[in-house]
Structure 1
Amino acid sequence: MKRTPLLGLLTLGVLLGSCGSGPSATAPTPSAEAAAPSSPVTSAPVTAAGQYVPGEVIVQLSGSLGAQTLGALETRLGVQSLEQLAVVNGAALLHTRITDGKSVEAKIAELKASGAVRFAEPNWTYQHQATASDAQFTNGTLWGMYGDASTPANAFGSQAAEAWARGSVGSDSVYVGIIDEGYQFDHPDLRGNAWLNPFDPVDGRDNDGNGYIDDTRGWDFANGDNSVYDGGTRGSLDAHGTHVGGTIGATANDGGVVGVNHNVTLISGKFLGRRGGDTANAIKAVDYFTDLKTRHGLNIVATNNSWGGGGYSQALYEAVVRGAKANILFVAAAGNSGTDNDVAASYPSNYDTTSAAGYDAVIAVAAIDKAGALASFSQYGRTQVDLGAPGVAITSSVPYNSYASYNGTSMATPHVTGAAALYASTHAGASAKTIRDALLGSVVATPSLSGKTVTGGRLNVSGF
């Protein structure tokens, strides 16, 4: 069981690339209630180790204080609200801009001392967890889908091919959220499994009342619009999200690649843009899927989170808890710095929802190669990283209508998310905890993961 850093602001540098610094999109999000208490949260000072959006702070107002208190805060403390992210226990969670020229660190200290906030924290920045290396099942390329007895075979693959051989290929009634870049939803290998929102047809109105107009394929929180794919025919953007989508659910028998699920429904929660993403937009993306499940009854079993960086965020943690209470797993990349997550915490993979939701909805994933070795870049942790999955030389879909091989815990994570969806397709009504227990209980012991992960094993979906 992973330890839960409920209190305390631990920091970790962004693992890949430089941080983004642009303002967040301003579309509203639905109100949501968290299990966390309304009392102030004590946290350690911000350090320079984590990267965040300059000049911005995320603030939860105290107790029952509402948006009417904001005017006094703006005047007295030098912040301006950019948007309301959620309403938690009757109090507003706000994404704010610093207006008096003070540093993020100084402003957070000032806000905490004011007595008007439950907590204040940076708007951390995040990056995806992939690197590029250079169709596809029959020639040995898709080793991550193979099993001991499949043709081709690889004992260190996810064993998905063995599940397919027994007729377990997924179901369109199972939904997965891709919190990432956008994805090319009309890619030949993805269009058959891409969500089309039945609750909000394209008519310029917010028919489903979630604050997002015409969110037909999901929502682009990075840019504040409904265009979840921005790469055009040149495929200049959203390759990472498209690659993740293909591993989870590329369709079969069409000449390209194939995902862990041949049938599944993929929904985009794009929050990573050209320069990464930030906490404010990550919160909105997580809450977007929770709202789709709780208000519309979509069978969303998991979100895929192949990103990391920044430090501990109380606000993001509580959004993950809201999803956990709605029976949505949060599958997260362990990170690509080759370090021990027990020693230096990595978020969001180090979050643990047990105390707030009654079980841990977060599954942290390390990467292994086709020989079963822990990838040299993969982060690990005997108490903080749950299992390993294929993450080296993973071929999947990319824009535009193409394929590429990537390395990263980003690539290992969708194998596990896909496995959660595959299990749900054959176990209707299974709770998130049941799915989690099945995933971790079926791992194959792997020497390279012994003492490096909670289970000491690798993903095995042969029985799903």
Structure 2
Amino acid sequence: MKHKHMAVFSKPLLVGGLLSAVFLAGCESSLDKIQDEPTTQSQLADAQGEPGRDYVANELLVKFKAGVSEEAKANALARISGKVSEKILTKAMERAGEKEGLMVVHTPLQALEAMSKMKGGPEIEYAEPNYIYQHTATSNDTYYTNNSLWGMYGDATSPANQFGSQAGEAWAANHTGSNTVYVGIIDEGFQNTHPELDANEWDNPYDPVDGVDNDKNGYIDDTDGWDFDSNDNTIYDGGTRGSLDDHGTHVAGTIGAERNGTGVVGVNWSVTMISGKFLGRRGGTTANAIKAVDYFTDLKTRHGLNIVATNNSWGGGGSSSALLDAIKRANAANILFIAAAGNGGSDGVGDNNDAVASFPSNYDVPNVIAVAAITSTGAKSSFSNYGATTVDLGAPGSGINSTTAFNTYSSYSGTSMATPHVTGAAALYAAAKPGSSAAQIKNALLSSAVPTTSLAGRTVTGGRLDANGALSK
């Protein structure tokens, strides 16, 4: 049996991200690293920016222009009394020709004030807050009821639901997925020991557990993926750091829970899922999201893994040039970036993403697919964001049963739940039609969307996911 990681602890409330921030006592400017300390709750509270756009207090992401001297960098940082706590230069960045990478800079100034002092400088490519992201799920009663996977049903399945993903009809035609198709889950981690998921999780053949970075991708013993939040190889913490990884496990179950006669089943009965965990106990940062996106880009490029898509059921940050660059690198590697459209504001009513952008789903890159949520009656879920030009299609997102931590099952609602139905459909298509490009898969999913009254004029396609119909494209 494959080795696993598992721990047991009580279930917490997931409210924000494991962040690092340092308040500087002096005004010294330095390009040397400083030691990180955990962000306090008061610092996190100070990090509130515009509504729905939280970021790490006293921290910026800074990219200097190519060829800028060390003296010029130091002078620029002196304007905000900034110190570099981390330099991010991923393998994917290097392969794309990057030499400088991205700097995480701590400053005694509030982020927006520091950004205003940095932006426009002749040495600065961009300076932006290190945004905090959250998953886009809302919890229903946490119980599992047999025969309630409406999101997998189709018109002709038994039981039937025309507003389901139509995955059941694809299975009837012997399209059940393949373990030669890989999907990256950028989210919390997921319980890779769950009896519904253990056969479909990745065991890295390129880096055996021996304390050495055998494939030289920068991550030692990344046997199941990587935890960018804690910077270790334990993708399922099982509560040891205050997060049960319920959300990531739920997403994984919708994409690829096994057909084993018990519990639930995913859109794919067979698929290989890799964890790029960046959401921790209090959310996740732009800096760690970038590392996760680039991790999958590098895996595909380095090893030739057939990574067809990443699932991104998270949001809440503002527009980030640094994250946009990472998504563009994934696009160049032919990896779809499938993203939740968002769950609206505090009033529980979905927002129009055409009017107020929701990131990362609003990034205008060819590999991005933005997903809204619908109910079992075909209505747009009340909480779901929408956008006639920015949200591509809808998928089942209300009352979705799937796997959760500690070998359990739960019902959740959110665009977080709609997104893995689309990711699963992308993987199902890739298994049925090997060698398909990201553009071909996206076109098949969007062109086969079923016209739906609640989505007319509210999404690009005006329709909902049809995983089976896409296979005929």
TM-score (normalizing by structure 2): 0.85
Match status 1:382 vs 2:376: no
3-state SS in 2 of match to 1:209: coil
3-state SS in 2 of match to 1:198: coil
Match status 1:22 vs 2:12: no
Counterpart among 296, 306, 326 of residue 299 in structure 1:
306
3-state SS in 2 of match to 1:294: helix
Larger RCO of the pair (alpha carbons < 8 Å, separation 6+): 1
Q: Which amino acid aligns with 2:353?
A: N
CA separation in 1, counterparts of 2:146 and 2:190? 26
Counterpart among 426, 435, 447 of residue 432 in structure 2:
426
| Contact in 1 for aligned 2:138/2:412 (Cα 8 Å) | yes
* Per-residue deviation, 1:73: 4.5
Match status 1:350 vs 2:362: yes
CA separation in 2, counterparts of 1:53 and 1:421? 35
Counterpart among 103, 118, 129 of residue 95 in structure 1:
103
CA separation in 2, counterparts of 1:376 and 1:17? 22
CA separation in 2, counterparts of 1:66 and 1:420? 45
| Contact in 2 for aligned 1:59/1:93 (Cα 8 Å) | no
Find the counterpart in structure 2 of residue 357 from structure 1: none
Unaligned runs of 5+ in 1: 1-15, 25-45, 354-359
3-state SS in 2 of match to 1:317: helix
* Per-residue deviation, 1:387: 0.3
Find the counterpart in structure 2 of residue 83 from structure 1: 86
CA separation in 1, counterparts of 2:414 and 2:424? 16
CA separation in 1, counterparts of 2:241 and 2:172? 36
* Per-residue deviation, 1:104: 1.1
CA separation in 1, counterparts of 2:144 and 2:110? 52
* Per-residue deviation, 1:300: 0.2
* Per-residue deviation, 1:297: 0.4
3-state SS in 1 of match to 2:282: coil
CA separation in 2, counterparts of 1:349 and 1:412? 13
Q: Which amino acid aligns with 1:53?
A: V
Unaligned runs of 5+ in 2: 1-12, 22-47, 345-349
* Per-residue deviation, 1:97: 2.9
3-state SS in 2 of match to 1:225: coil
Task: String of CA shifts for 1:199-233, please: whole Å, max 9, x gaps.
Answer: 11100011111111110000000111000001159
* Per-residue deviation, 1:110: 2.0
Q: Which amino acid aligns with 1:351?
A: Y
1:202-213 residue pairs with structure 2 within 5 A? 202-213=209-220
Task: String of CA shifts for 1:264-316, please: whole Å, max 9, x gaps.
Answer: 00000000000000100000000000000011100000000000002100000
* Per-residue deviation, 1:150: 0.5
Find the counterpart in structure 1 of residue 157 from structure 2: 150
Counterpart among 50, 57, 80 of residue 48 in structure 1:
50
CA separation in 2, counterparts of 1:279 and 1:351? 14
| Contact in 2 for aligned 1:125/1:309 (Cα 8 Å) | yes
Find the counterpart in structure 2 of residue 30 from structure 1: none
* Per-residue deviation, 1:21: 6.6
Find the counterpart in structure 2 of residue 437 from structure 1: 443
Find the counterpart in structure 1 of residue 41 from structure 2: none
Does the C-alpha gap of structure 1 residues 104 and 116 become closer, same or farther in structure 2, counting only changes over 3 Å?
Answer: same
CA separation in 2, counterparts of 1:274 and 1:328? 28
CA separation in 1, counterparts of 2:170 and 2:73? 54
Find the counterpart in structure 2 of residue 3 from structure 1: none
Find the counterpart in structure 2 of residue 60 from structure 1: 63
1:143-292 residue pairs with structure 2 within 5 A? 143-231=150-238, 237-292=244-299
CA separation in 1, counterparts of 2:193 and 2:242? 12
CA separation in 2, counterparts of 1:182 and 1:23? 19
Find the counterpart in structure 2 of residue 362 from structure 1: 368
| Contact in 2 for aligned 1:95/1:280 (Cα 8 Å) | no
* Per-residue deviation, 1:139: 4.3
The number of equivalent residue pairs is 421
TM-score (normalizing by structure 1): 0.86
Does the C-alpha gap of structure 1 residues 233 and 125 become closer, same or farther in structure 2, counting only changes over 3 Å?
Answer: closer
Find the counterpart in structure 1 of residue 28 from structure 2: none
1:399-410 residue pairs with structure 2 within 5 A? 399-410=405-416
